[in-house]
C-alpha cells in the first residue's frame, strides 16, 4: 500500500503551530511573520510536502482534469493532436485523461458518462464516425461543462471548434490533379455524417468546377475509414469501364490502402494514376513513390483546442468560436506526371 503522504497537520504538529498557520505560511499570507513562514517552508521542503489534490478538489470543486475523446489512439493524427493538447494543459496545471471511442457511438457515449462521473472539468472531443445523434453532447452543454470539438465537429452554434480548411484543401488537390493532366479525378470519402467528409466533398466539387470538369458520380466513392473498406472502394474505382486517372482520399490511411490496391491491379503511381493523401503522416515520405499529401498542423490543432477550452473555463457563457487552421499541400512524387500527356 501507498504510504500516507505528509499533510499540513504533520507539519503543524511538528512545528507546534496550527494547521491554518501552516496553510497560510505556505502561501505567503501577509498575516504570518517572516520567520514563521521561513520555518514552515523549510520543514515543508524537507518533508516533501505537496498539497493533496483531492482535498483541494473537494474544497474547490475542481479536478484540473480534461477529458479527451478521440476515435482512435494509434493514428498519428490523433496522437499528435493529443500531444498538443497535453502541452497546453500542462502549462495550465491540468492533466488530460484520454479515452478512445474506437469510432463507436456507443463507446463515445460511455466514455462521456465515465468521465463525467470522474468529474473532469470539461471535454475536448473528436466525433466518432458513427455518431449522428448528438444528445450526449447536448447533455454536456446543459450541465454547463466546457466542451470543444476538433477536426470532426457538430453543433457549431453551441460549441467552439477547431478544424482544418478541408474545403480549400480538397479544392486545391483537385486543381493540382488537373494541372498534372488528370481529367478523371476520383475522391474516396468517409461516412457522410462526418463534417470533414462533407467539406472535402464540397471542395472536390468546387475544384472540378474551377477546372471545368464535369462531376461524375461514379468517381465519388465512400468508405468507412478502415483499410479494408478503402481497398474495396479503390477496387470499385479501378474496375470502372473508364477508371479514374487520379485519386485522393479522406486521409492517408485510406490512400495507403488505395496504393496497395492500385499496385495489385498492376498499375503504377504516378504513371497511370495520380494519388494524393490527407493529413500527411510521417510515412508519406517512406512509401514508394513518396506520397503527396495535405499537411495538417496537428500539434497546433491540439494546442488551439486546448486554448479554446481554457478560454471557455475562464469566461462563462462565451460565444462559441470556430478556428480554421490552414493546411499545406506537400507535393511529392505520387501526384506529378513527368512525361506530360493529354
Q: Write out the residues near a second copy by the rule CB under 8 A.
A: 1-5, 50, 52-55, 57-58, 61, 63, 73-76, 79-80, 82-83, 86, 90, 95-100, 114, 116-119, 121-122, 143-145, 227, 256, 259-260, 263, 282-283, 285-288, 316
Strand ranges inside 87-217, DSSP E: 95-100, 122-125, 147-150, 161-164, 185-189
Q: How far is the CB of 43 from DNA (least distance, A)?
A: 13
Give the interface with DNA as residue ranges (CB under 7 A).
4-5, 7-9, 16-21, 23-24, 26-27, 29, 31-34, 36, 49, 51-52, 55-56, 58-59, 61
Is residue 183 within 8 Å of 158, Cβ to Cβ?
Answer: no
Is residue 276 within 8 Å of 270, Cβ to Cβ?
Answer: no
| CA 317 to chain CA centroid, nearest Å | 24
- Which of a second copy, DNA, none binds 98 (CB below 5-8 Å, type-dependent)? a second copy
Cβ distance to DNA smaller for residue 49 or 219: 49
Cβ distance to a second copy smaller for residue 7 or 322: 7
Is residue 66 within 8 Å of 123, Cβ to Cβ?
Answer: yes
Q: CB atoms < 10 A from the CB of 154, how many?
A: 18
Cβ distance to a second copy smaller for residue 183 or 271: 271
The Cα–Cα gap between 210 and 189 comes to 20
Cβ distance to DNA smaller for residue 94 or 149: 94
Q: How far is the CB of 194 from DNA (least distance, A)?
A: 38
Instruction: Scan for cell 457511438, then name that residue.
Output: 105
Q: How far is the CB of 274 from a second copy (least distance, A)?
A: 17
Alpha helices, DSSP H only, in 180-320?
Answer: 195-210, 227-238, 252-264, 298-314
Q: How far apart are the first and last CA of the chain?
A: 74
- Which of a second copy, DNA, none binds 242 (CB below 5-8 Å, type-dependent)? none
The three cell numbers of residue 155 are: 453543433
- Which of a second copy, DNA, none binds 24 (CB below 5-8 Å, type-dependent)? DNA
Q: How far is the CB of 55 from DNA (least distance, A)?
A: 3
Beta bridge partners of 161: 149, 322
Q: How far is the CB of 82 from DNA (least distance, A)?
A: 30
- Which of a second copy, DNA, none binds 156 (CB below 5-8 Å, type-dependent)? none
Q: How far is the CB of 121 from a second copy (least distance, A)?
A: 7
φ, ψ at 161 (rounded to 5°): -135, 150
Cβ distance to DNA smaller for residue 21 or 99: 21
Q: How far is the CB of 192 from a second copy (least distance, A)?
A: 26
Cβ distance to DNA smaller for residue 17 or 323: 17
- Which of DNA, a second copy, none binds 293 (CB below 5-8 Å, type-dependent)? none
Q: How far is the CB of 315 from DNA (least distance, A)?
A: 21
Cβ distance to a second copy smaller for residue 199 or 252: 252
The Cα–Cα gap between 115 and 138 comes to 15
The Cα–Cα gap between 204 and 213 comes to 11
Closest among 134, 170, 189, 209 to 293, alpha carbons compared: 170
- Which of DNA, a second copy, none binds 219 (CB below 5-8 Å, type-dependent)? none
The Cα–Cα gap between 99 and 319 comes to 27
Cβ distance to DNA smaller for residue 24 or 321: 24
The three cell numbers of residue 52 are: 493533496
Amino acid at each position: 500500500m501507498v504510504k500516507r503522504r505528509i499533510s499540513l497537520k504533520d507539519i503543524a504538529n511538528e512545528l507546534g503551530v496550527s494547521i491554518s498557520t501552516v496553510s497560510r505560511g505556505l502561501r505567503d499570507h501577509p498575516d504570518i511573520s517572516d520567520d514563521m513562514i521561513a520555518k514552515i517552508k523549510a520543514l515543508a521542503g524537507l518533508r516533501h510536502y505537496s498539497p493533496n489534490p483531492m482535498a483541494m478538489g473537494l474544497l474547490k470543486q475542481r479536478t484540473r482534469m480534461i477529458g479527451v475523446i478521440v476515435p482512435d489512439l494509434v493514428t498519428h493524427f490523433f496522437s499528435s493532436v493529443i500531444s498538443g493538447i497535453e502541452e497546453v494543459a500542462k502549462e495550465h496545471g491540468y492533466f488530460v485523461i484520454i479515452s478512445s471511442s474506437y469510432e463507436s457511438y456507443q463507446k463515445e457515449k460511455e466514455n462521456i458518462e465515465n468521465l463525467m462521473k470522474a468529474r473532469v472539468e470539461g471535454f475536448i472531443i473528436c466525433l466518432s464516425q458513427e455518431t449522428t445523434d448528438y444528445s450526449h453532447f447536448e447533455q454536456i452543454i446543459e450541465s454547463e461543462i466546457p466542451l470543444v470539438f476538433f477536426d470532426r465537429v457538430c453543433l457549431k452554434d453551441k460549441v467552439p471548434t477547431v478544424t482544418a480548411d478541408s474545403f480549400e484543401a480538397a479544392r486545391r488537390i483537385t486543381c493540382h490533379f488537373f494541372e498534372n493532366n488528370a481529367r478523371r479525378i476520383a475522391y474516396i470519402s468517409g461516412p457522410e455524417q462526418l463534417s470533414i467528409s462533407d467539406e472535402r466533398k464540397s471542395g472536390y466539387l468546387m475544384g472540378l468546377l474551377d477546372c471545368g470538369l464535369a462531376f461524375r458520380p461514379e468517381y465519388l466513392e465512400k468508405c468507412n475509414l478502415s483499410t479494408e473498406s478503402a481497398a474495396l472502394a479503390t477496387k470499385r474505382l479501378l474496375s470502372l469501364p473508364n477508371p479514374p486517372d487520379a485519386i485522393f482520399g479522406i486521409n492517408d490511411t485510406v490512400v495507403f490502402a488505395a496504393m496497395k490496391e492500385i499496385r495489385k491491379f498492376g498499375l503504377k503511381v504516378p504513371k497511370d494514376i495520380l494519388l494524393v493523401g490527407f493529413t500527411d503522416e510521417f510515412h508519406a515520405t517512406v512509401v514508394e513513390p513518396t506520397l503527396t499529401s495535405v499537411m495538417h498542423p496537428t500539434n497546433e490543432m491540439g494546442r488551439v483546442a486546448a486554448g479554446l477550452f481554457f478560454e471557455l473555463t475562464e469566461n462563462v457563457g462565451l460565444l462559441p468560436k470556430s478556428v480554421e487552421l490552414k493546411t499545406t499541400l506537400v507535393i511529392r512524387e505520387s501526384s506529378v506526371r513527368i512525361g506530360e500527356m493529354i
